[in-house]
């Protein structure tokens, strides 16, 4: 098979990017809230239907800053089934992660498990819209309101996802996006925080610029989280093509589902529907009644030039900096533990040819 990675960035024609570079060169304004940076913030606000957004150099720094902006301390309830940045952001802020199990259908944080994990030290909930599938935002918010907790969504996968009433990123006290090269929308590296009001945006903008207020005054122990003009320029160009990119992903998703439908031992995660999906990933669960194990299938695909990803494996709670936590015990996380042993994300990106998708799917069927 043709060598294929699990994902590749969607890159618009190079000739369309050149004028942006020329403007940057002419202005000599490379970073620190330049004109493309400001324009991208405005355009993303329109796209998401929100009033305030703050751009960042990457999604991890955005997560760290979001926790600082809301002055989160103590314990935060979160999922073990995510990329490590979710929990690393907590440790960077001296916060204790408290892991709870996930929903077996969506693989998102299961609201049924949240209340039992709340203690007097709990200050927030940090769920993840895993693979771009929306969390049960209404139930999570109801729990947060009942116990006086903040909600910060790790929405790294959720660009372009809607819940029927608007963008999913409008939920929670803050939503954090990633614009990494592996994401549906990329700025090479980048991220953003969706802010509920102007006051919060001002605080976040100060925190991402070392805590500066003016030239000689520093009011908070901030960090350098600013997005450059180069990253913002790519983002503006990406926005022109995002509808096309999502449509192409949807077509690839449909081909996989058609060819793998009914295959014994292979479960495709439920299609979350046209109105909400961004088709950021194509995850399958390789069950015990499939002829070979998940890891054997993973290796055979790699040996044939296809590079899927066991995403997320291992669980965050299995890494050494977390496994000593009481909430990290595998017996407390049976659904997440099971999913991590079965998950395999197949290649999906706009330029992936249908013939290659056919070949990958038929290879899986033939085992």
Q: What is the DSSP string of 130-178?
A: GGGPPP-HHHHHHHHHHHT-EEEEE-TT-TT-B-SSSBGGGSSSEEEEE
Same domain, 209 and 265: no
pTM of the model: 0.96
Q: What letter would DSSP give residue 74?
A: S
Domain boundary among 238, 273, 303: 238
Task: Check if the beta carbon of residue 98 is closer than 8 Å to that of residue 78.
Answer: yes
User: Of 216, 238, 260, which residue sits at a domain end?
Assistant: 238
pLDDT at 165: 86
Q: Tens digits of per-residue pLDDT, 296-308?
A: 999 999 999 999 9
Q: Are residues 71 and 207 in the same domain?
A: yes
Are 257 and 359 found together in one domain?
yes
Note whether 344 and 286 are within 8 A (CB): yes
CATH number, position 92: 3.40.640.10
Same domain? For 29 and 109 the reply is yes
Residues 286 and 207 in one domain: no
Q: What angle, rounded to 10 degrees, do the helices at 198-207 and 59-69 form? A: 120
Same-domain status, 317 and 214: no
Cis peptide before 309 (omega within 30 of 0): no
Number of domains in the chain: 2
On whether both 279 and 234 belong to a single domain, the answer is no
* Residue 254 lies in domain: 242-366
- Are the C-beta atoms of 188 and 181 separated by less than 8 Å? yes
Q: Residue 259 belongs to a domain with what CATH number?
A: 3.90.1150.10
Question: Domain ends where: 208, 238, 268?
Answer: 238
pLDDT at res. 234: 97
Q: List CB contacts of 38: < 8 A, sequence separation 6 or more.
A: none
Same domain? 212 vs 299: no
The pLDDT value given to residue 274: 60
Indicate whether 234 and 246 sit together in one domain.
no
pLDDT lower than 50: segments of the chain? none
CA angle, residues 60, 12, 190, in degrees to nearest 5:
10
Whether 48 and 113 map to the same domain: the answer is yes
- Claim to verify: residue 316 and residue 331 sit in the same structural domain: yes
The residues, ordered by sequence, that sit 6+ positions from 259 with a Cβ below 8 Å of its Cβ are: 357, 358, 361, 362, 365
Which pLDDT belongs to residue 277?
86
Q: Are residues 109 and 192 in the same domain?
A: yes
pLDDT for res 201: 98
Of 112, 259, 234, the C-alpha closest to 180 is 234
């Amino acid at each position: 098979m043709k060598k294929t990675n699990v994902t590749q960035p969607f890159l618009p024609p190079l000739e369309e990017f050149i004028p942006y570079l020329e403007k940057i060169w002419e202005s000599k304004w490379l970073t620190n809230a330049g004109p493309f940076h400001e324009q991208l913030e405005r355009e993303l606000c329109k796209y998401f239907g929100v009033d305030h957004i703050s751009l960042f150099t990457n999604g991890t720094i955005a997560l760290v800053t979001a926790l600082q902006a809301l002055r989160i301390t103590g314990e935060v309830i979160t999922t073990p089934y995510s990329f490590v940045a979710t929990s690393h952001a907590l440790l960077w802020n001296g916060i204790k992660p408290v892991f709870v199990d996930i929903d077996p259908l969506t693989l998102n944080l299961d609201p049924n498990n949240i209340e039992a994990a709340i203690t007097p030290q709990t200050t927030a909930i940090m769920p993840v819209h895993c693979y771009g599938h929306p969390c049960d935002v209404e139930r999570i918010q109801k729990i947060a309101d009942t116990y006086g907790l903040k909600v910060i969504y790790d929405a790294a996968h959720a660009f372009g996802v809607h819940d029927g009433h608007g963008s999913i990123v409008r939920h929670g006290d803050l939503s954090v996006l990633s614009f990494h090269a592996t994401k549906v929308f990329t700025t090479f590296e980048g991220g953003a925080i969706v802010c509920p009001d102007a006051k919060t945006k001002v605080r976040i903008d100060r925190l991402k610029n070392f805590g500066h207020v003016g030239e000689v005054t520093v009011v908070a122990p901030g960090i350098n989280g600013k997005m450059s003009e180069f990253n913002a320029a790519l983002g503006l160009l990406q926005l022109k093509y995002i509808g096309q990119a999502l449509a192409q992903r949807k077509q690839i998703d449909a081909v996989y589902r058609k060819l793998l439908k009914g295959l014994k031992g292979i479960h495709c995660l439920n299609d979350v529907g046209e109105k909400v999906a961004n088709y950021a990933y194509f995850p399958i669960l390789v069950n015990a009644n499939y002829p070979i194990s998940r890891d054997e299938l993973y290796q055979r695909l790699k040996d044939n030039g296809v590079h899927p990803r066991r995403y997320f494996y291992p669980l965050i709670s299995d890494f050494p900096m977390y496994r000593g936590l009481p909430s990290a015990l595998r017996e407390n996380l049976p659904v997440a533990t099971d999913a991590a042993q079965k998950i395999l994300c197949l290649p999906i990106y706009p330029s992936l040819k249908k013939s290659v998708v056919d070949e990958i799917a038929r290879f899986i069927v033939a085992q």
